[in-house]
Copies of this chain bind each other. A is one copy, B any other.
């Protein structure tokens, strides 16, 4: 008998789904069985759902195509929601298959029953499979919804009986051609603003591809405009081979200072910069009220910012090529120094292998890393924490590594954030993912200590204890070993260099705990 779960899987595979990051339960077993018989779909087990959803995000950021997740009812979805929030903000296509009780069972309100649609709806598109006959269309629709553009988190709620009952044949249809049309007048408006002098370009989304960055450099060469990158890009090409631009700083007073001279802002794949958090007496907006904003490429509308920037370059008669002065590699000379964020950031940049993928969840340790160091590194791709929900880094690194065999992933990772989803280490070991995890072990929630000081809050022992990770200190070598990942702890530049050399030379995952002083 062919079950409707087979229909689900076959339709999804035809629509381009190659991998499913899964944490199934009893109500998803027919889907497990269907994946079992289809060698075209790779099933990857996560010990916690946040690992699965983050890995799906990482996979799709690198391939442009969605991965599937398999989640167990409402609580399984709930455990994966924070990283789905991040995927939503990054506009990553993700397909969730969420099991539910059989249609005749759900009304009995048994223990695991909950409002799955409310949870799934909070992060994007959602549809419930109504019957086995509905399955093929539903399976295709959820992939199409995820693909957008823009990319979306799309969830399919799949009652158990709609999995186990006989299903129809799979469905497929050609993908909709993405509209590449630029909104009328935007290019001309942007050109006028930048030609007038003292305007700035703000790059995000697809503007941060190599193509987009080169076009932005041409625009800057022709108009002398400033160019900025959004604070937390989902994906950015970086390194000595591409033009480098500074990121809008995280703290709003710094961001305001950075953009103070901009008389107008052209938004290319980015949204208007807004303070990440609100502060007493401070405006939320980073640019002054009344500053002209031109939306050159709206990421929500799925407009390709790289194409828009090329059109803008033509409009401003930019040179065809800007001869970039490639930043020189900065050798990492070891002297036995203790580690601080700058030394650590320099080492990561110096050791970055060609075509590496750097997953940046280094929090305060990495706040200024990209500007200070990444530009001098070998060509690489950066994946950032666009959504702000910490605990993304290790799962995204897992997904990116499986998406790109042959490319080394460096998870540049804050210690506090890594602890949310450390179970990803086990999946890295199981899948032999080429991930080098660098834990920035400052043993505190440093950003909270900074924010307490900024707010002039005199923190007593109770408040400080809530920002402190030293009592007891976490032993990352032990944690990694427990999950089957080899690990070293280092406290000096010399030991760090040796560990990075070893870790990057061998296949499979490893972890370096870099203890900061």
Q: Which of B387, B462, B463, B468 contacts A112 (CB 8 A)?
A: B387
Assess whether B111 is in contact with A89, with CB atoms less than 8 Å apart. yes
When the two chains form the complex, which single residue of B26, B36, B76, B111 contacts A460, counting CB atoms closer than 8 Å?
B36
Contact A122 to B112, CB < 8 A, known contacts A478-B481, A482-B476: no
Q: Which of B30, B32, B472, B481 contacts A429 (CB 8 A)?
A: B472
Known contacts A112-B389, A426-B472: A101-B277 contact under CB 8 Å: yes
Chain A interface residue count: which class? 35 or more
| Chain A 26-77 interface residues, beta-carbon cutoff 8 Å to B | 26-27, 29-30, 32-33, 35-37, 43, 45, 47-48, 50, 74-76
Q: Give the chain B neighbours of A27 by CB distance below 8 A.
A: 277-278
Question: Are the CB atoms of B122 and A118 closer together than 8 Å?
Answer: yes
Interface stretch (choices A132-140, A262-270, A448-456): A448-456
Say yes or no: is A98 at the interface (Cβ < 8 Å to chain B).
no
A172 at the interface (CB under 8 A from B): no
Copies in the complex: 2
**Chain B residue, CB-CB nearest to A418:** B47
Cβ–Cβ < 8 Å partners of A448 in chain B = 24-26, 29, 32
State the CA gap A74–B387 with chains docked (Å).
Answer: 11
Docked-complex contact B451 and A36, CB < 8 angstroms: no
Assembled-state Cα–Cα distance A290/B460 (Å):
64
- Among A78-86, A193-201, A343-351, A492-500, the one that faces the other chain is A78-86
With a 10 A CB-CB cut-off, give which of A32, A232, A447 has the most chain B CB atoms.
A32
Contacts of A164 in B (CB 8 A): 280, 455
CB-based contact A121/B122 at 8 Å: no
Q: A277-B160, A388-B111, A420-B48 are in contact. Are A29 and B457 (CB under 8 A)?
A: yes
In contact, A481 and B475 (Cβ under 8 angstroms) = yes
**Residues A276 and B420 in contact, CB atoms below 8 Å apart:** no
- In the complex, how many angstroms separate the beta carbon of A282 from the nearest chain B beta carbon? 10
A375 at the interface (CB under 8 A from B): no
User: Are A122 and B74 closer than 8 Å at their CB atoms?
Assistant: yes
Measured in the bound complex, the distance between the Cα atoms of B22 and A462 in whole Å is 11
A335 at the interface (CB under 8 A from B): no
Contact between chains at B111 and A419 (CB < 8 Å): no
A466-B45 CB under 8 A given contacts A24-B448, A26-B448, A81-B75? yes
CA gap between A118 and B85 in the complex, in Å: 14
Q: Report the Cα distance A420→B102, complex, angstroms.
A: 25
Contact present for A161 and B118 (CB under 8 Å):
no
Q: Kindly identify which residue among B111, B121, B388 contacts A387, using a CB–CB cutoff of 8 Å.
A: B111
A75-114 CB contact bits vs B (8 Å, 1 = yes)?
Answer: 1101101100100010000000000011011001011101
- Once the chains bind, are B32 and A277 in contact (CB under 8 Å)? no
- Please give the distance in Å from A129's CB to the nearest CB on chain B: 15
Does A506 count as interface, using CB distance less than 8 angstroms? no
Within the complex, what minimum Cβ distance (angstroms) separates A361 from chain B?
A: 13
- Of all chain B residues, the one with the shortest Cβ separation from A22 is B466
Asked, given contacts A78-B81, A419-B423, A457-B33, whether A274 binds B24 with beta carbons under 8 Å apart, the answer is no
Quote the shortest CB–CB distance from A114 to chain B (angstroms).
6
Indicate with 1 or 0, residue by residue over A333-361, a CB within 8 angstroms of chain B CB atoms.
00000000000000000000000000000
Say whether B75 contacts A389, CB under 8 Å.
yes
Say whether B472 contacts A478, CB under 8 Å.
Answer: no
Cross-chain contact B481 with A388 (CB below 8 angstroms): no
The yes or no answer to A240 lying at the interface (CB within 8 A) is: no
Report chain B residues within 8 Å CB of A502.
none
Q: Which A positions have Cβ atoms within 8 angstroms of B?
A: 22, 24-27, 29-30, 32-33, 35-37, 43, 45, 47-48, 50, 74-76, 78-79, 81-82, 85, 89, 101-102, 104-105, 108, 110-112, 114-115, 118-119, 121-123, 160-161, 164, 232, 274-278, 280, 284-285, 386-389, 391, 416, 419-420, 422-423, 426, 429-430, 447-448, 451-452, 455, 457, 459-463, 465-466, 468-469, 471-479, 481-484
Closest 10 CB pairs of A and B: A472-B484, A478-B482, A75-B389, A479-B482, A105-B278, A102-B278, A78-B81, A36-B463, A111-B388, A75-B82
A-B contact pairs, 19 of them (CB 8 A): A26-B277, A26-B448, A29-B448, A33-B459, A35-B462, A36-B463, A47-B416, A47-B419, A85-B114, A110-B276, A111-B232, A111-B386, A419-B423, A426-B472, A472-B483, A473-B484, A475-B483, A478-B479, A479-B479
